[in-house]
Amino acid sequence: MLEQDDWLSRRQRQLCLDVLMNVFQRIVTPFMECFRGKLTGQQVWTLCMADLSGPVSVQELAESLHIPKQQASRLTDLLAADGYLFRRTDPNDRRRLLIAVTPKGEELLDSGWKQFEKQLFQRDGAAEAGREWLKRAMALSGGEWLEIEGGGLAAGCAETSGNYGKAGMDMAKKNDFFEITPEILRLSEACVAHDAIDPSLYVKYDVKRGLRDLNGKGVVAGLTEISDIISSKEVNGETVSCEGELYYRGIDIKELTQGFIKENRFGFEETVYLLLFGTLPNQAESEEFKKLLSKYRTLPTNFVRDVVMKAPTSDMMNTLARSVLTLYAYDEKATDTSIPNTLRQCLEMIALFPQLAVYGYQAYAHDVDPENNSFFIHAPRPELSTAENILHMLRIDNSYTELEARILDLALVLHAEHGGGNNSSFTTHVVASSGTDAYSVIAAALGSLKGPRHGGANIKVMRMFEDMKANVKDWEDEDEVRAYLLGLLHKERFDHSGLIYGMGHAVYSLSDPRADIFRGFVKSLSEEKGLYKEYQLYSLVERLAPKVISEERKIYKGVSANIDFYSGFVYHMLGLPAELYTPVFAMARIAGWSAHLMEEIVHGGKIIRPSYRSIGERQPYVPLAERP
């Protein structure tokens, strides 16, 4: 018989938690009320499970709670900080960190359980309300209800702990906030039914879909002095494809890169200067500009703790966007859109992007696997270039070779700008034309670059080659590699998209000048890293793919390797985690975005507001009572 002062056994507590956590949300309220003002709901679950299971690892705790490991890690960090949990190394496996409840935590739990039990049991037996909801809960979870003499209760599971009946799991799923429910599916079908547009109408009304004509040439939507892309030339009145050319403020990208490489200098900082201010800096201007960027490589007080370390995510582009928008709150002149203040904000973001991305990744890596990934923060050094600081901050021992830093610097230069018509730069112009602040503009550009059709191509290239290396036995056999490429085009290989990633470009046809520049340095790095065989495979695919594509498909222009074809391989050789591939792109392109933002503000144009032709049919309004 359970008297008022009796507590549930550990096994009964476990079963109650199983029911509370996995059946339906309204049951949780009485239990959570016992901890109001002390712990959040998820902290309650974490502390209870750590107490019931004894010393456990983060992975075991996550499995018990049915939550991701990184979420369990974050919860234990907070509870440990408040003194409810402590950690110790597993004596049998020193790589494994065990978590247990402190006396303070036990005292809080016992107090909460006792209060909860008083709601369920009175001296004259079980409270009817509590008795009834727990009975229904046990039935739903696949357990059974057992009466105990004197009106008390016990609970027994029909299945082993952690397994639940179908009814209980179905009920749990109904409370999943992220579940795609039948209602959502039905409404989605309505969207498809009423938002689908016949592609032939674009031709009928001469609408340039995607702001490009049928041959893929972009519609001229604006003027810029920042950069120029050449992919064709007029010969005898006809447009003829040519080798690709790229100009930053009128300077050929090949001449620009050859200049600082020949002089054994890092080139990204002077490239930023060129894009923003229209000319290359002299020696004094260059040194002054580097000092200015170094000055801005300082995050606001507690920014890492309060922003970067909170709710870390695997998507570093989201982390970057969130950090950029939060910088607004720390800026006393956030809404000042004057030219000097906007320039200050741009320089600040150019300087801080590497820190925001690298620190965001460190927080995520530690959150996912704290036992194997220590959380460390390396401050940037003022005497280092942007490329050097990225490697310095990312690596726990701060070490890197000169070749590694030079190639990363080159990658930043080649990704820094690519015309005003690319999706993220055009987004910069569109949002800036509304008159909003710089942080909002850059956050929008980040959202654009995050898209797999824009900034995520190098990851696709890497994964495609991983699949190729796993399925092609002889990497030097042209016939076998060719067969794999045909399989890609026929949607039989890799992701079945029908694409050979890294081949072709929206503008370039015969060649991408950035890929041409990159190629030789990629070879050098592959030799240093002992990956020359992989480089030879890339070279073979670069040679074969255009021929395979032209034989299989009707194309209107030439096909060649683009910058993404090699950049993913370079980042892999540099040891950059895949989560940082697109953020490295952003660390470079923030220079171009800033230049386009300044250009939009300086010329003071109108808000960008194109028109959309409506093809919807008119329909009468129907009063609510008369609708079917």
3-state secondary structure of 470: helix
Cβ burial, residue 14 (10 Å; 0-12/13-18/19+): buried
User: Kind of pairing, strands 85-90 and 143-148?
Assistant: unpaired
Q: What percent of the chain has pLDDT over 90?
A: 57
**Same domain flag for 263 and 136:** no
The last residue of a domain, from among 105, 139, 174: 174
**Domain of residue 106, CATH code:** 1.10.10.10
**pLDDT surpassing 60 at residue 447:** yes
Q: What is the rounded CA–CA span in Å between residue 544 and residue 481?
A: 8
Query: Does some domain include residue 214?
Result: no
Check if 564 is active-site.
yes
* Total of domains in the chain: 2
**pLDDT surpassing 60 at residue 9:** no
Query: Does some domain include residue 229?
Result: no
**pLDDT surpassing 90 at residue 145:** no
Residue in 135, 161, 159 with CA at minimum distance from that of residue 148: 135
CB atoms within 10 A of CB 477: 12
Domain that holds residue 104: 10-174
Exactly one of 367, 392, 564, 596 is catalytic; which is it?
564
Residue in 485, 505, 489 with CA at minimum distance from that of residue 497: 489
Q: What is the rounded CA–CA span in Å between residue 31 and residue 133?
A: 13
**Same domain flag for 274 and 148:** no
Degrees, nearest 5: CA angle 346-353-380: 115
Query: Does some domain include residue 619?
Result: no
Q: What is the rounded CA–CA span in Å between residue 429 and residue 423?
A: 10
The last residue of a domain, from among 174, 200, 229: 174
pLDDT of residue 163: 36
The last residue of a domain, from among 174, 209, 244: 174
User: Mean of the per-residue pLDDT values for the chain?
Assistant: 83
**Same domain flag for 580 and 489:** yes
Q: What confidence tens digit (pLDDT) does each residue in 220-258 have?
A: 999 999 999 999 888 888 888 899 999 999 999 999 999
- Its pTM stands at 0.73
pLDDT of residue 42: 66
* Region 496-523 average pLDDT: 92
Q: What confidence tens digit (pLDDT) does each residue in 17-56 have?
A: 555 544 334 444 556 666 666 666 667 767 776 776 667 7
**Same domain flag for 257 and 379:** yes
**Domain of residue 599, CATH code:** 1.10.580.10
Query: Does some domain include residue 486?
Result: yes
Query: Does some domain include residue 243?
Result: no
Check if 477 is active-site.
no
**Same domain flag for 133 and 259:** no
Q: What is the rounded CA–CA span in Å between residue 147 and residue 140?
A: 17
Q: 49-53, 174-178, 379-383 — which one is most confidently predicted on average?
A: 379-383
Query: Does some domain include residue 325?
Result: yes
CA dihedral (501, 387, 257, 286) positive or negative = positive
pLDDT of residue 20: 52
Q: What is the rounded CA–CA span in Å between residue 438 and residue 238?
A: 42
Query: Does some domain include residue 35?
Result: yes
**pLDDT surpassing 70 at residue 139:** no
Q: What is the rounded CA–CA span in Å between residue 552 and residue 558?
A: 13
- Token pair for residue 76? 């234990």
pLDDT of residue 126: 42
Exactly one of 418, 429, 505, 596 is catalytic; which is it?
505
pLDDT of residue 118: 64
User: Kind of pairing, strands 238-248 and 227-235?
Assistant: antiparallel
